[in-house]
């Protein structure tokens, strides 16, 4: 197995408004999350969130405590949210416990000193695990979460090209966490817009992971300050970091699914500073 990681430093919005396409992609886009028997991650200085992917092929692969953590275990001072986002059924081993995750099922892992491993039940159809991790001040129980456990909210309409179902899965109304919140939004056939009206929340940063994007299709992710927006074109199975000062929305050439993850000061999902669509620049 192999673990790859990189550090991403936070940007001042006054500087970011001058970034060209290459710099925007280098600072905010997270590519190449999945490779056989590898764990790939980005340690972001936005609320110290880690965004990563793991694809176990023919062996168990460990979620290692990379050097910046300065900890004996990855979860010594961290909580983790994990989703199975493709391939076959997978297993996450947390200490002596094992959790089987099917497609679009999630697992919350609380802080604590124990090893975490990823496995695929069928090497011919390996699971793909996407994860977010934030710092944690307290230990909470591990828990598997399915869409049946989620708070499901149907929003938008086909006429507005944004009919979607929000599955709030790792949120404080479902289970206790320190600061991590995660969920999954599924767009209906014929709908392409998400997170409109756009908003910011200065108490939290966010990461978006786009999947179920067909080959040959793309997602145009919108970011930046409301009066200084920018865009990043993305493919499926890629993630993007969203600073607390940035909007986060997208339109694509096909409907898709995305996982949102948040970390920061509070756990209030509704804490948003909404920007009217007509006020965006």
- In terms of phi and psi (left: phi > 0; alpha: psi -120 to 50; beta: otherwise), the region of 261 is beta
Q: What is the pLDDT at residue 262?
A: 97
Q: What is the pLDDT at residue 268?
A: 86
pLDDT digits (tens, 9 = 90+) for 79-133: 999 999 998 999 999 999 999 999 999 999 999 999 999 999 998 999 999 999 9
Q: What is the pLDDT at residue 153?
A: 97
pTM of the model: 0.97
Residue 270: is its pLDDT beyond 90? no
The residues, ordered by sequence, that sit 6+ positions from 109 with a Cβ below 8 Å of its Cβ are: 75, 79, 80, 81, 82, 92, 94, 116, 142
Q: What is the pLDDT at residue 271?
A: 87
> Rounded mean pLDDT of 29-34?
98
Evaluate whether 211 touches 238 at the Cβ level (below 8 Å). no
State the SS3 of the chain. Answer: CEEEEEEECCCCHHHHCCCCHHHHHHHHEECCCCCECEEEEEEECCCCCEEEEEECCCCCEECCCCHHHCCCCCCCCEEEEEEEEECCCEEEEECCEEEEECCCCEEEECCCCCCEEEEECCCCCCCEEEEEEEECCCCCCCEEECCCCCEEEEECCCCCCCCEEEEEEECCCCCCCCCCEEEEEEECCCCCCECCCCEECCCEEEEEEEECCCCCCCEEEEEEECCEEEEEEECCCEEEEECCCCCCEEEECCCCEEEEEEEECCCCCCCCEECCHHHCC
Instruction: Give me the percent of the chain exceeding a pLDDT of 70.
Output: 100
Q: What is the pLDDT at residue 103?
A: 98
pLDDT digits (tens, 9 = 90+) for 196-228: 899 999 999 999 999 999 999 999 999 999 999
How does the average pLDDT of the chain come out, rounded?
97
Q: What is the pLDDT at residue 33?
A: 98
pLDDT digits (tens, 9 = 90+) for 148-172: 999 999 999 999 999 999 999 999 9
**Whole-angstrom distance, CA of residue 221 vs CA of residue 105:** 24
> Rounded mean pLDDT of 27-39?
98
Residue 190: is its pLDDT beyond 90? yes
Q: What is the pLDDT at residue 34?
A: 98
Residue 51: pLDDT band (50, 70, 90) is very high
Q: What is the pLDDT at residue 196?
A: 87
């Amino acid at each position: 197995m192999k673990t790859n990681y990189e550090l991403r430093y936070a940007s001042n919005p006054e500087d970011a408004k001058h970034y060209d396409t290459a710099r925007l992609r280098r600072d905010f886009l997270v590519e190449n999350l999945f490779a056989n028997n590898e764990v790939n991650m980005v340690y972001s200085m936005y609320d110290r969130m880690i965004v990563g992917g793991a694809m176990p092929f023919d062996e168990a692969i460990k979620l290692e405590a990379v050097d910046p953590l300065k900890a004996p275990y990855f979860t010594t001072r961290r909580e983790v949210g994990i989703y199975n986002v493709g391939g076959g059924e997978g297993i996450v081993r947390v200490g002596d416990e094992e959790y089987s995750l099917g497609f679009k099922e999630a697992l919350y892992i609380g802080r604590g000193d124990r090893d975490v491993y990823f496995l695929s039940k069928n090497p011919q159809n390996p699971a793909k695990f996407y994860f977010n991790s934030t710092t944690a001040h307290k230990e909470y129980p591990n828990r598997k979460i399915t869409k049946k456990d989620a708070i499901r909210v149907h929003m938008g309409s086909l006429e507005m090209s944004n009919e979607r179902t929000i599955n709030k899965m790792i949120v404080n109304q479902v289970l206790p966490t320190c600061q991590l919140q995660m969920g999954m939004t599924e767009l209906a056939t014929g709908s392409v817009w998400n997170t409109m009206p756009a908003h910011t929340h200065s108490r939290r940063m966010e990461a978006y992971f786009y999947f179920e994007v067909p080959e040959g299709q793309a997602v145009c992710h919108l970011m930046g300050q409301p009066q200084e927006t920018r865009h990043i074109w993305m493919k499926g199975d890629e993630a993007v970091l969203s600073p607390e000062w940035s909007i986060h929305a997208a339109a694509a050439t096909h409907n898709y699914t995305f996982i949102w993850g948040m970390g920061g000061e509070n756990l209030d999902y509704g804490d948003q500073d909404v920007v009217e669509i007509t006020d965006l620049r």
